[in-house]
Structure 1
């Protein structure tokens, strides 16, 4: 053995040593490089893939993601911290302080822009949608394509009509299901209704997932469990192929959102035949809707009274804008088609999630439910027995307690628990210098929002930005009951002695804020108002059996409850 070792040239040992040193230097170079001064988990900083292994274990165990990130700040006992997502990736800064978060999203918007994470999530499905674009001239132009769908005229004259029809069908379905006297799983019904609604608003036609189920169950005998506290399981009909296509492409974004490598994950999904088939079908749906709108609205006789959906509205407005600006209209462009698809996808998943949490909150807080029903009855005193308020009447009614209930639902649902922005230049946050290109996430699912905030009063005001200091006291703080469902926290008496809902009562960011806040915010509020009015007009939501009413959640595109069982009792 010694003989063979003697035959190895010294240069070989030297070469091996050099390789070892180089590998060590390479490993060190790929380790996370923390931003000086910002707290972080040292274990994650000493690993090539940083937080990713722990995050994967957490997601595998709980099906949630953002709560893990928020917990990192609580473990470090700080409202600002950084975490690391792998080699050659800049540290990501996480913020839980509401005032700084809101300041970044609004007053400091010129210093920040949309995070690249949105491109990673959505560009594979809709490469020309504005949601993942930087805030530039192209983004502004594209957002105008559907901007009028959030106007009062469109919401009241078009969207409200479709919402009332689709939500009424859901109430009819629940009337059929309630005959069993048992709790039943409502999440799919709510999701189907939300898709039916946004489909009708987007295209002016019916996909009829709820009607299909109601007709299927109307005269069908249902096998009931022997125990009154057991859930009843209803058989389900085959749903339309268009429904499955929309769900398939929506789920593809969920796959990306739950992966440490979202862009790669979505690329992998796109290689499969089932996805290609679904995506081709959704493209055909949008194209057909556009062709129908052009056939009806690109005529001399067309006027605004013919607008029956978002597609119609886009074609009409784009035709007018193009004529005014002396250019060709862009309603046949890939951008227009992606905007319509995005309108459809984003508009059903977020609202349905909030409704799932909302029915749980009302069922488990009977006093609030009773108080809300009384307030709604008082707001619509002329409705005859057996009749329902119209969506038009609902949208015009002023019911402060109803507004407060919706704000409390949105606060506790944390349907979208985080926003994310990229620093466009070197910035300072709470005294820490953060390099350009760093992602800064605004976590809205922890201290100050749904948990007590031990940090807000301890932050030195001199460390805050000038605009943040100016905002001191403009938004309230929550008390020790921050975890509880208490709509009254949003109510105050104004200078005239009138009770009003105060949207600045305390921290909540359900729709984000600033120029990149949620596009569909007004439509979401309208849908929630119509749905909960008609629901409480027709049903009492009894508390579901304990085994069916847990509050564990799962993160997909949104933060959904794992259990959404309801026990509706028709009101005679």
Structure 2
């Protein structure tokens, strides 16, 4: 009776208020933090922590308050964040099989599902093994080194054509680095003047830059709601649709010219694999998967290395004394009569140290790539249930005050011993670690050494007067330098 009388008294606004209270209570009950789950900041009902700042300083403050393992909520999903070298090593190395899966990232799911980076289980193992085998084949036959040495000459010619005048090196560097993985995937390089390939690179670069805005976080929380609304997520989707068109044309051209007896590149070998594994449908070798795998490898083989090289130029502008020491070492060991090779790397410890410090201080991928608990796990005394997304904050490793003598200063001595010999550091994890470490790590290491050593052998880099680039960088999915111009003076 009382309930019926109450219902009769409610007008429209009353019903709306009643409905809101019910939804609020449902959200509170449904999203209660599970027992023994990592602590975290208070979450706004329905939205969670989507508007909490995601910069390094904010994450550090949360780690100080809640400890090295803490959590936040996006919509109805909780994510665990891991801070500091020891805890991240525990998660990715000691507990090697606990955090090996990938969560669904709604923003990218439509375009990256089924490839190498975003897949899981048997399918992921088969795709990754196939890609690794193909890359190792090229590395073992020194083809990759020759491709890089060959491309070094093209980028040096392009810089020389600037005649010591100010220019923006961004897309020349991206194109040069991308040409290495393109030679493996497509069997050819692309001229820097190729407008179609330049558009492809620009579309990809733009999508990566947009990938961490607040709207993107909202999209991951409420994809069904935002799918039809305007915003930067629509630009990301449009870019990837156009990128897929470019890649599909390349695959179709390979299909027309394919000779099973004489495979030329990754696409040709993959087409052959499709025929071989028809009896294993769980491996999912087909044209759609091939397109995603190509995109995975292009991004893995381009973005981090190209961004690191741009940071290297920025640091050489800020620290000309370091640039001079690198050049003196190269002149002493190699001279000007021949091009640097990978065989020179052990004899160029200071050059190696500068490259590694660029990766450490540049902090290209501050939040790593999202992972997911593949089984129930315990970390830092907390229980992390299977299926929980986790983020390993690599900034906290590369700037860990317990691991680096001067973590907030660009200092190549971090990688040199008292005799000036190069030394490896356990806390050097720019490519992450464990089974989900960056697929393009070995290729990137080769590229960084050969491109950097060759460029500094042939040029001295100086800032354009009044245009010294800042060291803060721009946060997208990666941390990259702001656009800058440079003077490349032939030596």
Question: Which TM class, normalised by the smaller chain length?
Answer: 0.7 to 0.9
Distance 2:378 2:173 in 1: 43
- Residue 168 of structure 1 and its aligned partner are, at CA, apart by 1.7
**Do the aligned residues in 2 keep the contact of 1:178 with 1:569 (CA within 8 Å)?**
yes
2:407 maps to which of 461, 474, 482: 482
- Residue 143 of structure 1 and its aligned partner are, at CA, apart by 1.2
**Do the aligned residues in 1 keep the contact of 2:366 with 2:393 (CA within 8 Å)?**
yes
- Residue 252 of structure 1 and its aligned partner are, at CA, apart by 4.0
Distance 1:271 1:150 in 2: 29
The answer to whether 1:357 aligns with 2:331 is no
1:104 maps to which of 64, 80, 91: 91
Distance 2:51 2:158 in 1: 44
**Do the aligned residues in 1 keep the contact of 2:300 with 2:438 (CA within 8 Å)?**
no
Equivalent residues in 2 for 1:471-510, closer than 5 Å = 477-479=403-405, 481-492=406-417, 500-504=421-425, 507-510=427-430
Distance 2:460 2:50 in 1: 45
The normalised TM-score by structure 2 is 0.83
Query: What is the aligned partner in structure 2 of residue 194 from structure 1?
Result: 177
**Do the aligned residues in 2 keep the contact of 1:34 with 1:82 (CA within 8 Å)?**
no
Query: What is the aligned partner in structure 1 of residue 124 from structure 2?
Result: 139
- Residue 137 of structure 1 and its aligned partner are, at CA, apart by 1.8
The answer to whether 1:406 aligns with 2:355 is yes
Query: What is the aligned partner in structure 2 of residue 512 from structure 1?
Result: 432
The answer to whether 1:93 aligns with 2:76 is no
**Do the aligned residues in 2 keep the contact of 1:550 with 1:563 (CA within 8 Å)?**
no
**Do the aligned residues in 2 keep the contact of 1:98 with 1:507 (CA within 8 Å)?**
yes
**Do the aligned residues in 2 keep the contact of 1:199 with 1:344 (CA within 8 Å)?**
yes
**Do the aligned residues in 2 keep the contact of 1:104 with 1:112 (CA within 8 Å)?**
yes
- Residue 524 of structure 1 and its aligned partner are, at CA, apart by 0.3
SS at match of 2:488: strand
The answer to whether 1:84 aligns with 2:73 is yes
Query: What is the aligned partner in structure 1 of residue 46 from structure 2?
Result: 48
**Do the aligned residues in 1 keep the contact of 2:178 with 2:302 (CA within 8 Å)?**
yes
1:29 maps to which of 26, 30, 33: 26
- Residue 207 of structure 1 and its aligned partner are, at CA, apart by 1.6
Q: Deviations over 1:514-550 (max 9, x none)?
A: 1111111010011111101110110112345464321
- Aligned in 2, Cα 1:253/1:528: closer, same or farther, shift over 3 Å? closer
SS at match of 1:84: strand
- Residue 104 of structure 1 and its aligned partner are, at CA, apart by 0.9
The answer to whether 1:418 aligns with 2:418 is no
**Do the aligned residues in 1 keep the contact of 2:366 with 2:395 (CA within 8 Å)?**
yes
**Do the aligned residues in 2 keep the contact of 1:428 with 1:434 (CA within 8 Å)?**
yes
Q: Deviations over 1:363-405 (max 9, x none)?
A: 222232222222223332xx5x4x44154655x6543323222
Distance 2:279 2:391 in 1: 42
The answer to whether 1:435 aligns with 2:392 is no
- Aligned in 2, Cα 1:449/1:392: closer, same or farther, shift over 3 Å? closer
- Residue 97 of structure 1 and its aligned partner are, at CA, apart by 1.6
The normalised TM-score by structure 1 is 0.73
- Residue 568 of structure 1 and its aligned partner are, at CA, apart by 2.2
Q: Deviations over 1:12-32 (max 9, x none)?
A: 127987875553242133245
- Aligned in 2, Cα 1:99/1:373: closer, same or farther, shift over 3 Å? same
Query: What is the aligned partner in structure 2 of residue 116 from structure 1?
Result: 103
**Do the aligned residues in 2 keep the contact of 1:357 with 1:409 (CA within 8 Å)?**
yes
- Aligned in 2, Cα 1:164/1:310: closer, same or farther, shift over 3 Å? farther
- Aligned in 2, Cα 1:410/1:272: closer, same or farther, shift over 3 Å? closer
Q: Is the deviation greater in 254-263 or in 16-25?
A: 16-25
SS at match of 1:541: strand
**Do the aligned residues in 1 keep the contact of 2:100 with 2:435 (CA within 8 Å)?**
no
Q: Which runs of 5+ in 1 are unaligned?
A: 1-7, 56-64, 213-238, 454-476
- Aligned in 2, Cα 1:290/1:114: closer, same or farther, shift over 3 Å? farther
Q: What do you get for the CA RMSD once the two structures are aligned?
A: 3.5
- Aligned in 2, Cα 1:154/1:9: closer, same or farther, shift over 3 Å? closer
Distance 1:48 1:102 in 2: 33
Distance 1:491 1:266 in 2: 51
- Aligned in 2, Cα 1:343/1:492: closer, same or farther, shift over 3 Å? same
- Residue 144 of structure 1 and its aligned partner are, at CA, apart by 2.2
- Residue 190 of structure 1 and its aligned partner are, at CA, apart by 1.8
Q: Which runs of 5+ in 2 are unaligned?
A: none
- Aligned in 2, Cα 1:406/1:423: closer, same or farther, shift over 3 Å? same
Distance 2:291 2:50 in 1: 35
- Residue 439 of structure 1 and its aligned partner are, at CA, apart by 1.9
Query: What is the aligned partner in structure 2 of residue 465 from structure 1?
Result: none
- Aligned in 2, Cα 1:332/1:158: closer, same or farther, shift over 3 Å? farther
The answer to whether 1:150 aligns with 2:135 is yes
SS at match of 2:395: coil
Query: What is the aligned partner in structure 2 of residue 70 from structure 1?
Result: 59
**Do the aligned residues in 1 keep the contact of 2:71 with 2:80 (CA within 8 Å)?**
yes
Name the count of aligned residue pairs. Answer: 472
- Aligned in 2, Cα 1:375/1:312: closer, same or farther, shift over 3 Å? farther
